[in-house]
Structure formats: structure tokens, C-alpha cells
Chain A
Amino acid sequence: MFTMGEDMMKQWAENWEKLMGDHLEKLVHNDKFISEMSKSIAATMTGKAFYSKALDEQMAAMNLPSRTEIVKVLQKLTDIEERVIDLTERFEDYVDAQQSKPAAKSAPVAEKAAPEAKPAPDAAAKEVKARKQKK
């Protein structure tokens, strides 16, 4: 008797799962449903944009930086960081290229090659010297 009840429950659960599964699957794939849901999301996002703008204006009236402005500053910092990374890479590539040049040209003459191996700092020093002279 108990087993029969358990089997019935199991059968009922399986039927429920199939019924619900089929129904929900159809719903989330339905073009009209997706379109209406998107409209609702669009309305929420438009509301958020309006609210954020109003908040920004209030902050500006109080002479305080808004979240939007702080994010802009953070994005500028990201841009600067990106630029520094790019320049560092270019500098490393330049140094690598300069270091490999004399080694390939005159490997045995180590004493003479040594000072030439660091042209970048020399060039930088000359530039600084020239700037100082200009001043």
C-alpha cells in the first residue's frame, strides 16, 4: 500500500516536471514574451538613466562630485595606466633591440661592446642635458 502511494507520488512529480518544463520552455522561447520582457527592461533602464541624471544634478548643485564624475576620473586613470603600459613595452622592445645589435655585430670585443650596450640611458641623459642648456 505504502509502495503504491510512493509510486503515485513519483509519477505525479514526473508528470508535473514534464508539464511545467514544456510550458516554461515554450514561454522563454516565445518571441512575443521575450519582446515584452525586453520592453520592461528598457523602461527600467530609461528610469535608471533619468534618476542618475537627476542625482548628478543635485550633487552638482551642492558642489559635490557625483558617481558619474568619479567613474569618469577612474576611466581617465585607466587610460593613463594603459598608456604607461604601452610606453613601457615600447621602451623594453627598444632596449632589447639595442642590446641584441652590438652582440650580433662584435661578440668577441666585449670591453668595447659594453658601453654601447646601454644607448638608451645615454640618449636620455643627453636629452636632459640639452634641455637644461636650453633653460
Chain B
Amino acid sequence: MIGNMDTLVQHLDAITEHVMRNTAGELDKYPRGVTPREEVYTAGNVSLLRFESPLGVEGTPILIIPSLINRWYILDVTEETSFIRQFAQQRPTYLIDWGYPDEEVGHLPLSHYYHRSIKRAVRQICRQHGISQVDMLGYCIGGTLAYAFSCLEPDLVDHLVMLTAPIDFTDAGIFATYAEHFPIEEFSASMGKMPGWLLAFSFQFVQPMGVYQKAKMFHSKFESESFMKLYNAMERWIADPVSFPARAYYEMITDLYQKNLLAQGRLMTAEGRKVDPAARRAKTLILNAGKDHIAPLCTTALPASDKAPVSEVTIPSGHIGITTGRNSKDACRSAIDFLMN
């Protein structure tokens, strides 16, 4: 009897291993980012990636600041939709990979990310190329971080592209309502990080029919090879959540969403430096999405005190669609045109 049980357990074990190996094999087909790259600098969890450009590509390097709440390769998810691939064809292209932060960085303030980490990356690029300024593109909260950096270090940023980046949180839509009610003090007292799975769930929660609509779309298009490629790559990205460091999350909810300090020019770094929009000089492109429910159009407007030259392009898509949807090529072209002029 015991012998039979052993055999059964062994069989179950073999089946589980087979399924897991196959699943892992499937996941391996969809790498984290498709453009070849190398890690040129590391500081803690944060690393600076340089993407492969064709020989002879030169000019002011572009530094991409991705969002802190998900993985960077949404901008490089397939060859057809990759922003990074397009940028790397034109200019030396770098990106800050925030890694997978955990509780060991839970005590670091938000300014650690928008000032110290970005400054280190810019310093490395400037040393590498013998230059004094870089161009920047920030996506989502990464755009907010890049904007704050350009306020603090106006001499280091020449051009800034803010891709669906919320700056003015006065009327930030559904997420502002959730931030207003979120029990932030209880969170601060009990959690060392905002878990990635909870963040991912909150994004699904605000679009309750999202999963059903996705399944419907899958059913109608699954025979298309190009659709399946993008669909699987996107699923790979969605299934790769990132935790948000606790103190930085606390400051993002209170200082940005609840008090709107950045737009009012009252945001301070942990070292006591004022993040002043009036100090900014970088030529700026606001690249926003008309159907964005995460960073609605009104949140992407800059404060009145910001006197830097600004232009704006609105793409008829959603927050994620602007990077991977059918209009993403227009968004990418707008960013490249702006950076080249």
C-alpha cells in the first residue's frame, strides 16, 4: 500500500515537474526586453542599461526613466512596438532599471529615486561621453521623477519627454479618489513595502470588466500570429510585478496625490532642497494619451510657474496603449522628432 502511494507521489511529482518545465520554457520565449543591452553601472538595486546602437550613432545620449510601479520593458516588449529600439537607432540610449526593490530599501525616501539615483545615472553617462547634459524620457511615474529631477538639476537636462506623466494631481481621476481614502498611516505602521501583486490587483480593480474584455479580444484574434506575439509578451510583462518601497510609496501618496506638492512648487527632497518648477530650463514635450485613466490629460499639465519651453502632443490611446497599441508608432515618432530638433 505504502509502496503504491510512493509510486503515485513519484508520478505526480514527475507530472508537476514536466508542466513547470514546459511553462518556464514558454515564458523563456518572451524575454524581458528585446533590444540587446549591457549593464554599465549598478548602485544597490538600481542599474544603468545601455542599449545596442548601430555603428556611428552619436549625439546627445537619451536616458529613459521608466515607472517605479512596473518593469521597464513595456517600452521594449516586442521588436515591432519597441520605443527603445527606435531611440537606439538614432542616439546612444540608456535606461535606469529600478530592479525589484524589497524591504531593505523600504526606508529610502522618494527623493532617493527622483534625485540621487537619476543623478548617479546622468553622471555615469556624462563621464562616459564627455558631455555635460543628457536628453531624458520619463514614462508614467518615471516621467514625474524625471520632471522633479529637471527642477533640481536644470543644467543636466537638455530635452525632456514626459510620456503620460502625471504632474498636477488636483484632479487625478479614480486613482486620486483611492489615494484619498487609502489608509496610509496604517500602511506605514505595518508594511515594509507596497507588494507588487497588490498594486497589480488595484490596476485590475479600477477596470472591472478588463479581464473579460481581454478574454473576448483573445477569442476573436487568437489566430493572428502578430496578435499572439504581442499578447503573450504583454502577459509576460503583466505577470512580472514590482513592489514599491514603503517610504517612497507613503510620500508618493501623501505629497503627490493628496497634497499635490510638486505642482505647487512645495515638494522638498529628504535633504531639504526645494523641487522648484520655476528653476527648470529643459525643452519639454508633454506626450499624453487621450483615453488615459491612470494619468488623465489634466494631470499632465505643467504648473504655471514653469517657464521652460513646452509643446504637447496627444495620442488617441490609453495609458499602456500609447506604448504598445496601434498608435504607439505615432507617439514614438513624435518623441524622436522632438529630440532631434
Q: Which residues of A contact B (CB under 8 A)?
A: 17, 20-21, 24-25, 27-29, 31, 34-35, 37-39, 41-42, 45-46, 48-49, 52, 71, 74-75, 77-78, 81-82, 85, 89, 92, 96
Q: Are A38 and B105 in contact (CB under 8 A)?
A: no
Q: Are B105 and A78 in contact (CB under 8 A)?
A: yes
Q: Are A24 and B174 in contact (CB under 8 A)?
A: no
Q: Is the interface of B mostly helix, strand, loop or mixed?
A: helix
Q: Which residues of B contact A75 (CB under 8 A)?
A: 103-107
- 18 additional A-B residue pairs with CB within 8 Å, beyond A21-B208, A75-B105, A75-B106: A21-B209, A24-B208, A31-B177, A31-B181, A34-B177, A38-B183, A45-B189, A45-B191, A46-B189, A46-B190, A52-B190, A78-B44, A78-B105, A81-B43, A81-B44, A82-B43, A85-B43, A89-B120
Q: Which residues of B contact A (CB under 8 A)?
A: 43-44, 103-108, 116, 120, 123, 127, 174, 177-178, 181-183, 186-187, 189-192, 205-206, 208-209, 212
**What's the least CB distance linking B172 to chain A, in Å?**
14
Give A85 to B44 CA distance when docked, in angstroms: 9
Partner of B190, one of A28, A38, A48, A81: A48
Q: Is the interface of A mostly helix, strand, loop or mixed?
A: helix
Name the residue of chain B whose CB is nearest to the CB of A40. B183
**What's the least CB distance linking A123 to chain B, in Å?**
22
Q: Which residues of B contact A17 (CB under 8 A)?
A: 209, 212
Partner of A28, one of B105, B106, B208: B208
**What's the least CB distance linking A37 to chain B, in Å?**
8
Q: Which residues of B contact A85 (CB under 8 A)?
A: 43-44, 120
Q: Are A42 and B206 in contact (CB under 8 A)?
A: no
Given contacts A24-B208, A35-B181, contact A42 B104 (CB under 8 A): no
